C-alpha cells in the first residue's frame, strides 16, 4: 500500500514557502555578476574567502531570505560521518550560522541530523556537537532516535520510491529551516553531495538500501526534497572533494561560500565551482542541468530551470571577477 502523508504538502504550501524565502534583506557594497536573460532570477551569494566566520556572515548578508525573528529554527548540517570537512560540516561554520540567526532575532534553535553509516550518536560525540549546543544554547536532535510516529509518510504521483518515503517530523513540520552543506562529489551513485542530497539525512536509515540499489537513486534524492522548502541554504566550499566522497576523497581548495533559498541554484553553482577546480568525469562531462538530481528537481518545480535564471551576487571586486568565471561555466552547460 502506498504511503499517504498525514500532513499533505500542497502546491499552495510550496508556493507560500518559496515566496517567503524570497523576502529581502538589505545588502550594501553589492557586486552583481553579469547574468543572462531577463525576468525573475534566483539570487545566489558567492563569497570568496578562506575564513569561515567571514564566509557565513557575508553570504547571509547578501542572500535574500525570510528573517527568522521570533521563529523556532531547525538547522540541518551534513553529519553523514564525523570525517573532517568537507566530509562533514565544519564546526566553525555551524557555530557562525547559529550566531547569525540569533543576531537576526531567531527563537529557539535546534540542530538535527541522521548519520550513516557511522552511528549518529557517535558522530555528534566525536564532533563535540552536544558540548557546542550547551555552549551556544541550542538543542540537538538525533533523528536516529526518533520514535516511529515521528517519521511522516509522503508519496506523490511520479515518485521513484516504491511506496513513498518517510521524513523526520522535525523537518517536515519545521516553521523555519536552514540547511548547511559541503562541496563534494559522491562515489556511491549520488555523483555529488550538495544541498539536495543533504536532505537524505532527514530520511530513516532503513530506506537507504532501497535508494542505493535503485537505478533511480539520483531522482529519488531530489524527490526527498518535495515536501518542504528550506528558508536558507549555506554551502561551505572552502575545501572540496573533487573525486571520491562523501567521507573521504581528493581534496582541493576552493575558498568559496554559496548561499541562497533555491536548492537547485545552489547545487548548480556548486557544480560549476567543482568544474572550475577540475573534478571527475561524472562532473566534468555531464551538463549541469542534465545531472539527474538537478533535472528531477527542476521537473518538480523545486528551483530554477536553467543558468539564465541564476543571479550571482558578491561582496567585492575580486568576488565579482570569480563570479564571471563561474557564470561562464554555468552558461556552457
- Summarised one tens digit per residue, pLDDT across range 239-261 is 999 999 999 999 999 999 999 99
Phi, psi of 28 (to 5 degrees): -105, 165
**Which domains are assigned to the chain?**
11-332 (3.40.50.11440)
* 322-327 mean pLDDT: 98
Please name the residue that has the C-alpha cell 522535525.
170
Taking CA 174 as the corner, what is the angle to CA 299 and CA 122, rounded to the nearest 5 degrees?
A: 100
Q: Is the pTM of this model over 0.95?
A: no
How far is Cα 267 from Cα 195, in angstroms, rounded to an integer?
6
- The 10s digit of each residue's pLDDT in 41-71 is 899 999 999 999 999 999 999 999 999 999 9
Average of pLDDT values for 222-243?
98
3-state DSSP assignment of residue 307: helix
pLDDT, position 268 = 98
Q: What angle do CA 178, 243, 240 make, to 5 degrees?
A: 40
Grid cell in block for residue 280: 571527475
How confident is the model at residue 333, as a pLDDT? 79
pLDDT at 40: 77
Q: Tens digit of pLDDT for each residue in 302-320?
A: 999 999 999 999 999 989 9
Largest CA distance in the chain: 56
Task: Report the SS3 class of residue 181.
Answer: strand
CA–CA gap between residue 105 and residue 293 (Å, rounded)? 34
Q: 231 or 1, which is more confident?
A: 231
Closest CA to 110 of 25, 11, 177: 177
Cα-Cα end-to-end distance for the chain: 40
Average pLDDT over residues 109-116: 97
pLDDT confidence of 141, banded at 50, 70, 90?
A: very high
Amino acid at each position: 500500500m502506498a504511503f499517504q502523508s498525514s500532513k499533505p504538502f500542497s502546491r499552495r504550501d510550496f508556493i507560500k514557502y518559496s515566496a517567503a524565502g524570497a523576502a529581502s534583506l538589505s545588502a550594501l557594497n553589492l557586486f552583481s555578476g553579469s547574468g543572462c536573460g531577463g525576468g525573475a532570477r534566483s539570487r545566489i551569494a558567492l563569497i570568496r574567502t578562506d575564513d569561515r566566520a567571514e564566509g557565513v556572515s557575508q553570504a547571509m548578508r547578501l542572500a535574500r531570505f525570510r528573517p527568522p525573528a521570533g521563529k523556532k529554527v531547525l538547522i540541518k548540517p551534513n553529519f553523514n560521518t564525523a570525517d573532517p570537512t568537507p566530509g562533514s560540516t565544519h564546526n566553525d561554520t555551524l557555530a557562525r550560522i547559529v550566531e547569525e540567526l540569533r543576531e537576526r532575532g531567531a527563537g529557539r534553535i535546534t540542530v538535527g541530523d541522521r548519520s550513516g553509516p557511522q552511528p549518529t550518536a557517535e558522530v555528534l560525540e566525536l564532533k563535540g556537537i552536544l558540548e557546542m549546543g550547551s555552549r551556544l544554547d541550542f538543542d540537538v536532535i538525533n533523528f536516529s532516535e526518533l520514535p516511529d510516529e515521528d517519521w511522516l509518510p509522503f508519496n506523490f504521483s511520479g515518485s521513484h520510491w516504491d511506496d513513498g518515503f518517510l521524513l523526520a517530523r522535525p523537518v517536515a513540520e519545521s516553521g523555519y529551516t536552514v540547511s548547511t552543506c559541503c562541496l563534494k562529489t559522491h562515489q556511491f551513485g549520488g555523483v555529488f553531495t550538495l544541498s539536495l542530497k543533504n536532505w537524505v539525512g532527514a530520511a530513516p536509515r532503513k530506506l537507504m538500501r532501497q535508494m542505493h540499489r535503485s537505478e533511480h537513486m539520483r531522482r529519488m534524492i531530489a524527490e526527498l526534497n518535495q515536501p518542504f522548502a528550506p528558508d536558507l541554504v549555506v554551502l561551505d566550499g572552502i575545501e572540496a572533494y573533487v573525486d571520491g566522497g562523501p567521507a573521504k576523497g581528493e581534496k582541493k581548495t576552493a575558498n568559496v561560500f554559496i548561499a541562497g533559498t533555491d536548492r537547485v541554484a545552489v547545487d548548480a553553482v556548486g557544480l560549476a565551482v567543482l568544474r572550475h577546480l577540475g573534478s571527475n568525469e561524472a562532473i566534468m562531462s555531464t551538463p549541469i542541468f542534465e545531472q539527474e538530481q538537478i533535472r528531477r528537481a527542476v521537473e518538480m518545480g523545486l528551483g530554477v530551470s536553467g543558468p539564465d535564471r541564476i543571479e550571482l551576487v558578491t561582496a567585492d571586486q575580486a568576488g565579482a571577477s570569480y563570479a564571471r568565471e563561474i557564470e561562464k561555466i554555468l552558461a556552457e552547460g
